[in-house]
Amino acid sequence: MKLFKIGAIFLICFLAANASFAQRHSLGLRLGDPLGFSYKYYVGDGSALELIIGRTSGSTQANYYRNAFLDDPRFDDFSYQGHNVVSSSSMQGRYVFHQDLYEQTDLEGLSWYYGFGGQVRFINVDYLYENLTEPLPNQTRETITNIDMGIESILGLGYEIPTAPVTLYFETSLFLEIIDRFGPMRFQAAVGARYIF
pTM: 0.81
Mean pLDDT of the chain: 86
47: CB partners within 8 A, 6+ apart: 95, 96, 97, 98
Q: How many helices (H) and strands (E) does the chain have?
A: 3, 8
How long is the chain? 197
What pLDDT sits at residue 103? Answer: 79
Instruction: Report the SS3 class of residue 142.
Output: strand
pLDDT in tens, 36-89: 999 999 997 789 999 999 998 766 677 888 888 888 888 888 989 999 888 889
pLDDT band at 94 (very low <50, low <70, confident <90, very high): very high
Higher per-residue confidence, 19 vs 157: 157
The percentage of the chain sitting over the pLDDT mark of 90, rounded to a whole number, equals 52
User: What is the set of domains in the chain, with CATH numbers?
Assistant: 2-57+88-120+150-196 (2.40.160.20)
Give the whole-angstrom CA distance, residue 70 versus residue 137: 20
pLDDT of residue 22: 47
pLDDT over 90 at 164, yes or no: yes
- Using CB atoms within 10 A of its CB, is residue 96 exposed (0-12), middle (13-18) or buried (19+)? buried
Q: Are 152 and 176 in contact (CB under 8 A)?
A: yes
- Coil/strand/helix, residue 197: coil
Question: Does residue 105 register a pLDDT over 60?
Answer: yes
pLDDT tens digits, one per residue of 22-33: 478 999 999 999
Q: How confident is the model at residue 139 (pLDDT cuts 50, 70, 90)?
A: confident
DSSP, collapsed to helix, strand or coil, labels residue 139 as strand
Residue 138's pLDDT band (boundaries 50, 70, 90)? confident
pLDDT confidence of residue 20? 46
d(CA 117, CA 110): 23
pLDDT of 62: 74
Please report which confidence band the pLDDT of residue 90 belongs to, taking 50, 70 and 90 as the band edges. Answer: very high
Q: For residue 45, what pLDDT is reported?
A: 79
Coil, strand or helix at 64: helix
Taking only Cα atoms into account, the Rg of the chain, rounded to an integer number of angstroms, comes to 20
